[in-house]
Chains A and B, each alone.
Chain A
Amino acid sequence: MRNIFRIMMIGLFGIGTASGQITKVDQEVYGMDCAPCAYGLERGLKKMDGLQEVRVSLNDGKAYMGLAAENGLKLRSIQEEVKKNGFSAKKAEVTLIGNATKEDGQWYIETANERFSVSQDTPKALLQKLTVGTATISGTVQDEEDDNLSGQWSIVLTKIE
């Protein structure tokens, strides 16, 4: 009985790892011009489950976020929070652990909640390093319309660990 429980736990843990997650986001924010704007965004982001550290820079126009080791946070939720504060979320530099797959010659990296389509703008040398299965990657997620976020993203890879 104890062994069955252990196997179940390993199975569950395994599923969690395979499903993947975002670990770091540097989100570009347009239209944020004042200290209370930064304060409001910082406070809104800090309320989100899964965010471990948040720093907002007015001069860079960015929100720098470190995510908890175990989190279910979506990039979409972060960008929606930016919009809720009256600003526009643009490109995001992310680091994530995901499951890499290849369909009809197109690479995808999936976390538990979102799918990142690897852009053709990714350097070929990096694409050649990509293999099917769990991958830890960094890249720049392209801007999507704030009113039409679907959780499907295009990413230009900058690093594969």
Chain B
Amino acid sequence: MIRKIFPKISLNISYLLLILLLAVTGMAMAQGHGPLYGLQTPTLAKGGVDLNVASMSLSTEDETSYMLRYLFSYGITEDLQINLTTPTMIERLGDAPRTRGNSNMPANGDIEASLWYRFFSNAFGVGKRFESTAIVGVSAPTDDVRGQVNVGNSVHAAISTGYASRTWYGWIGGGYQYYFKKGGEQLGDLPYASAVVGYRPNIFMGDYPKPDWRIFIESLAEFPGDNKFEGQMDFTDSRSTKILVGPSFLGLYGAWGISFGAMFPVVQDLTLGAVKERYRLAINLSYWL
């Protein structure tokens, strides 16, 4: 199984890098300075601008998607941030699992606008702080049908809390995405939770402006609900359970940041018709204006 997966992953990483390179040559970019997949808390400075481009891939048993995502973020205040993300789909999945790309990027081809509000922040030492952030967002799909189901607009809300220091990081959070009905059909909703632990080794404790690297172990638990069709039985209580775990790396230098990582499913308790995943890959480049 592992031998079957790894050659394909190497190939996909090459694709992702190529796609990212093509995108980078045309624009500046960025994302937060936390985990790649899990919910996080940092918000931009007042008046701060963050541009990101991410290259993402999701592989199921039968097919693999490739997507570029652009994210524009602006700090209205030091605690309030708006985001807008748009996708360029290179390869869509015919039958896409319900998931999110990360805390401010949908995994599927949705355009999303979101608002982050850091409602609690306690900086209590050099480099140390506790903080909590709430996220609300609205999405519009760029595809009409996803897995033979009409795709409607959706809303997303999440909350996360975490600790940051110069050495250790940790975030936990949970979120919920709800798709509206379209043409008598409705994509299943998505409650999810995430937990992330981060560490910066001593070797990367060089002071600013030296490069700054850290590693994260990220985990996601997703509980996608079944799709609903008008005139058919309502399986409201029927949900899949997926737990994914994987490493990610974040490198920062001045105004630039790069993160990359992978997630692998460790639990997939799926309902009938749900799609089995093999892995997720992502690379993200950030630029803080």
Asked if residues A84 and B208 are in contact (CB atoms below 8 Å), the reply is no
- How many Cβ-Cβ contacts under 8 Å join chain A to chain B? 97
Question: A88 contacts the other chain (Cβ, under 8 Å)?
Answer: yes
Asked if residues A30 and B125 are in contact (CB atoms below 8 Å), the reply is yes
Which residues from chain A contact B210 at a C-beta distance below 8 Å?
A: 35
Which residues from chain B contact A61 at a C-beta distance below 8 Å?
A: 125-127
Question: Of B45-53, B187-195, B216-224, which binds chain A?
Answer: B45-53
CA distance A82 to B176 in the complex (A): 34
Asked if residues A35 and B211 are in contact (CB atoms below 8 Å), the reply is yes
Q: Which residue of A lies closest to B209 (CB)?
A: A35
B82 to chain A, nearest CB (A): 15
Asked if residues A57 and B45 are in contact (CB atoms below 8 Å), the reply is no
Within 8 A of B (CB), among A21-37: 28-37
Asked if residues B78 and A56 are in contact (CB atoms below 8 Å), the reply is no
Which residues from chain B contact A33 at a C-beta distance below 8 Å?
A: 127-129, 164-166
Asked if residues B127 and A31 are in contact (CB atoms below 8 Å), the reply is yes
CA distance A61 to B125 in the complex (A): 8
Q: Which residue of B lies closest to A57 (CB)?
A: B207
Question: Of A38-46, A96-104, A121-129, which binds chain B?
Answer: A38-46
Asked if residues B208 and A38 are in contact (CB atoms below 8 Å), the reply is yes
Q: Which residue of A lies closest to B163 (CB)?
A: A33
Question: B35 contacts the other chain (Cβ, under 8 Å)?
Answer: no
A39-B207 in contact given A31-B127, A61-B127 (Cβ < 8 Å): no
Within 8 A of A (CB), among B162-214: 164-166, 205, 207-212
Asked if residues B129 and A30 are in contact (CB atoms below 8 Å), the reply is yes
Asked if residues A39 and B125 are in contact (CB atoms below 8 Å), the reply is no
Which residues from chain A contact B212 at a C-beta distance below 8 Å?
A: 34-35, 58
Q: Which residue of B lies closest to A88 (CB)?
A: B123
Asked if residues B288 and A40 are in contact (CB atoms below 8 Å), the reply is yes
Q: Which residue of A lies closest to B286 (CB)?
A: A36
CA distance A82 to B121 in the complex (A): 14
Which residues from chain B contact A29 at a C-beta distance below 8 Å?
A: 126
CB < 8 Å neighbour of B253 from A35, A57, A85, A86:
A35
B127 to chain A, nearest CB (A): 4
Q: Which residue of A lies closest to B42 (CB)?
A: A86
Q: Which residue of B lies closest to A61 (CB)?
A: B126
CB < 8 Å neighbour of A58 from B123, B207, B257:
B207
Asked if residues B164 and A38 are in contact (CB atoms below 8 Å), the reply is no
